[in-house]
Amino acid sequence: MNSTPTGFIVESLTRAIVEHSLQPGEKLVEQKLADQFGVSRTLIRQALFKLSQNRLVRMVPARGAFVSAPSVTEAQQVFAVRRILEAGMTRSFMRQATAAQIKALKSHIAKETAALQRGDVAMRTTLLGNFHVRMAELMGNEVLASLLNDLISRCALITLMYQSSADAAHSHDEHAQIVAAIEAGDEARAIALMDAHLQHVEEALTLQTPPPLAKASAR
């Protein structure tokens, strides 16, 4: 749980979006949200800006904020680009990996485990995506880290809506296997595991349209 007022609002709105209490394309009225949370419109504006950075909300000049409407096609395109980038990233990481870098990745995986055990959907999604960004950061490649962060955020909402707890746990297990291959110095296996992992995540996200919660709420 985030201890700051803005963080609490971000978490609450994220949960509402994931659970479809707020529908894709729905307008988010600042004053209504301010009344609901008992805070100023300034704090609401800050929370909406954070959500827009995560691409869960779309800010439209002169019109306001709207819940993003994710595209399965865009998610597929993102994963196609990621597979190309991350094969090279994994190879490069393998060739410079230090004990400290591997320890840092293991620490990240421990955080994933904790989020999964808590049932924290928003946090587990963030951490599972950030595993890939973390690899680029540990390499000292800020350009790649920024690029991956942008690519991952492009399908953040579709990941939140489609990824089941079982899928998330499977992704976590695959991350652990990738790190084990890196630690063992098995470059071919690490690259193959990364490619298979991204393919598995994409397949899990695009099996159903619309996602189960949206379908269940239809009348």
Same domain, 11 and 59: yes
Domain-embedded: residue 175: yes
Q: What is the pLDDT of residue 219?
A: 30
Between helix 187-205 and helix 72-96 the angle, nearest 10°, is 160
Among 74-78, 99-103, 120-124, top mean pLDDT goes to 99-103
Residue 85 lies in a domain: yes
Q: By the 8 A CB rule, do 110 and 118 touch?
A: no
Domain that holds residue 14: 5-67
CA atoms within 13 A on the CB side of 202: 18
Most confident option among 44-58, 63-77, 110-124, 171-185? 171-185
> Where does a domain end: 67, 82, 110?
67
Q: Which amino acid, residue 86? A: E
Give the CATH number of the domain where residue 167 resides. Answer: 1.20.120.530
Q: Inform me whether the pLDDT recorded for 189 exceeds 70.
A: yes
Q: Which segment of 70-74, 102-106, 207-211 scores lowest on mean pLDDT? A: 207-211
Tens-place pLDDT, residues 40-71: 999 999 999 999 987 889 999 999 999 988 77
Residues 115 and 83 in one domain: yes
Q: Across the beta sheet with 64-67, what order do the strands follow?
A: 27-28, 64-67, 57-60
Which secondary structure element, helix H or strand E, spans residue 203, and what is its range?
helix 187-205
The pLDDT value recorded for residue 49 is 94
- Domain-located, residue 214: no
- Domains in the chain, number: 2
Cα(154)–Cα(151) distance, integer angstroms: 5
Q: Are residues 86 and 47 part of one domain?
A: no
Angle at 41 between CA 39 and CA 46, to 5 degrees: 95
Q: Same domain, yes or no, for 113 and 22?
A: no
pLDDT at 218: 33
> Residue 126's pLDDT is what?
85
Spatial contact of 209 and 72, defined as CB atoms under 8 Å apart? yes
Res. 208 pLDDT band, cuts 50 70 90: low
* Per-residue pLDDT, 137: 96
How far is it, in rounded angstroms, from Cα 216 to Cα 182?
42
Quote the pLDDT of residue 198.
Answer: 94
Please indicate, yes or no, whether residues 116 and 150 belong to a single structural domain of this protein: yes
What are the distances in angstroms from CA 39 to CA 30, 42, 44, 57, 73?
Answer: 10, 8, 7, 19, 38
Which tokens hold the place of 85? Answer: 């980038």
What is the pLDDT averaged over residues 121-133? 89
End residue of a domain, out of 67, 100, 118: 67
State the maximum Cα–Cα separation within the chain, in Å, rounded to a whole number: 56
Average pLDDT score over the chain: 87
In a domain, 117, yes or no: yes
